[in-house]
Structure 1
Amino acid sequence: MSRQNTRNGVRQRRHLGKKAYIVIAVTVGLLCVLQAVLNISLRLSLTCSGETEKILKSLTNEEELKNVTNEEELKNVTNERDELMQKMTQHACSGGTEKSFRNVSIEEELKNVTNERDELKQKLEQYGMQLTSLRREKDELQTKVNLSDHHQKQHWIYFSGSFYYISTNKKSWQNSRNDCLGRGADLIIIDSREENEFAGAFQKRLWIGLSDRQNEGNWSWPDGSPLRKSFWQPWEPNGYSDRDEDCVEINNFDPENSWNDISCTEQNFWICEKKTGV
């Protein structure tokens, strides 16, 4: 019984050992298979990783290349833009400068033309003034000629801006003056040596306009002006009170010493003077 049990026990242990061996063998086999699978997986993984890395690297290179290309294109476009902008600026500057030069040239020409116009206008005004002056002189001369013709027909003589009439008969001082007034003139007023010489050139004893009839000793002319320049003979005027010598005659033909005071009732030739006003 005990042997039998022992045998059974031994048999059971053998059977269990065999099962254990099988289990171990299977386990080892599974482990080997698993190891092989892992190795394959790892190899595949490594292979895939390498390929992926290559692909990624390739993609990166392509991207970098693309970026480089884009950067170069951008740089080229930027350069072209800058060149175009520079050309436009140069063109604008050139156009502006040309326009500026043109404007300056036009302004200078306009200034020159304006100056020439002003000079011509000034000359024209001067010529106009000269023409006006010449016309006035011409009119004055024409008036003098007309007056001269008119008065010469009536025996008047022109001298230094006045016409003179020398009588052909004799009268008193007052009557002589009345004759002059009737001719639109008056007895001569002598205010220069030249005029006194002119009056003496007729070689006649002539009444002149000087007298002191209004105020004894205060000699004056017919227009009321006082005596300022005189041509008395030596010791004249002497004015004898009993003869009432209040009027003046020319009786000496020396231009510096020709006047003499005598009575206004004496009979003398006379000389009238008419101012022409021209």
Structure 2
Amino acid sequence: MEYNDRETVSECNPEGPTEDTNEPEKLQLHWHRCKNVKHKFSEVKISNADYLMDVSKWRSNVTAYFEKIHHSLGEIQAVVSRLREDLSFGQPFDQWRLFNQTLYYFSSTEQTWNEAQNLCTVMNATLVVIDSDGEQEYIRRYRNCVYWIGLHCPTEGTWHWVDGSDYTANVKFWASDQHNGTAGDCAVVSDDGSWQYRPCSSEHFPICEKTAA
């Protein structure tokens, strides 16, 4: 809404146009004119405040809407990830399975630990190195078998991961009284999901792993 400044000033100017009107009537006329102008400016001010309020509400609604979409996408991605994992459990042995950006190969052939590591090497992989609770839980879900993992004991009481990871700083899931080991022992994930040591010359199923391309 626009107003002509000159008209506004003229309307409110006590020294405005002189007509053949007595002084009280002139003053009353100008007073009403000024009051009317003041009312008009108040309307403009209120209208502008309402506009700013509407913009603020619109902005809040849009922000809340996009936050809701982002949250929903996160939930969908989590569901898809769980479905992929569940589908992988229905796959036969001797196939690569994806979990957490890593590929796992569950062999159907029982082998010695050295043979198992050689099998993995041929496929540009290593025996699995378990370095997190999540990975341990993933492997445990296959606890119907005993599997070799990439942990061996070249000297008594000293364990080494095949990829050079720090054994001392890494997570461990040994069964009770099963962490010492003697020279020539290698580690397995047993059918109850715990780690145990067995002679490296014994035969068990290998689990190979490599980073997903």
Task: Give the TM-score range, shorter chain.
Answer: 0.5 to 0.7
Instruction: Give the 3 Å change call, closer, same or farther, for CA 253–160 of structure 1 in structure 2.
Output: same
Residue 271 of structure 1 corresponds to 206
Q: Per residue, is there more strand in 1 or in 2? A: 2
Gap runs ≥5 in structure 2: 1-17
SS in 1 for 2:207: strand
Residue 106 of structure 2 corresponds to 166
Task: State how 1:199-278 maps to structure 2 within 5 Å.
Answer: 199=142, 201-204=143-146, 206-213=147-154, 217-227=157-167, 228=170, 229-232=172-175, 234=177, 237-239=180-182, 244-250=183-189, 253-256=191-194, 258-262=195-199, 264=200, 266-274=201-209
Structure with higher RCO (Cα < 8 A, 6+ apart): 2
Task: State how 1:38-53 maps to structure 2 within 5 Å.
Answer: none
Bigger Rg, which one: 1
Task: State how 1:121-160 maps to structure 2 within 5 Å.
Answer: 121-130=62-71, 132-133=73-74, 136-137=77-78, 140=81, 144=84, 148=88, 152=91, 155-156=94-95
How far apart are 1:163 and its partner, in Å?
A: 5.7
Greater CA deviation, 189-198 or 96-105? 189-198
Task: State how 1:91-106 maps to structure 2 within 5 Å.
Answer: 91-106=32-47
Instruction: Give the 3 Å change call, closer, same or farther, for CA 216–189 of structure 1 in structure 2.
Output: same
Asked if structure 2 preserves the Cα contact closer than 8 Å seen for 1:236 and 1:261, the reply is no
Counterpart CA distance in 2 for 1:115 and 1:78 is 50
Counterpart CA distance in 1 for 2:25 and 2:179 is 113
Counterpart CA distance in 1 for 2:88 and 2:211 is 10
The answer to whether 1:117 aligns with 2:58 is yes
SS in 2 for 1:237: coil
Q: Give the TM-score taking structure 1 as reference length.
A: 0.51
Counterpart CA distance in 1 for 2:82 and 2:188 is 33
Counterpart CA distance in 1 for 2:113 and 2:66 is 54
- Total equivalences in the alignment: 188
SS in 2 for 1:248: strand
Gap runs ≥5 in structure 1: 1-76
How far apart are 1:246 and its partner, in Å?
A: 4.2
Identity within the alignment, %: 19
Counterpart CA distance in 2 for 1:254 and 1:128 is 41
CA RMSD between the two structures: 4.1
Residue 73 of structure 1 corresponds to none
How far apart are 1:183 and its partner, in Å?
A: 3.9
Q: Per residue, is there more helix in 1 or in 2? A: 1
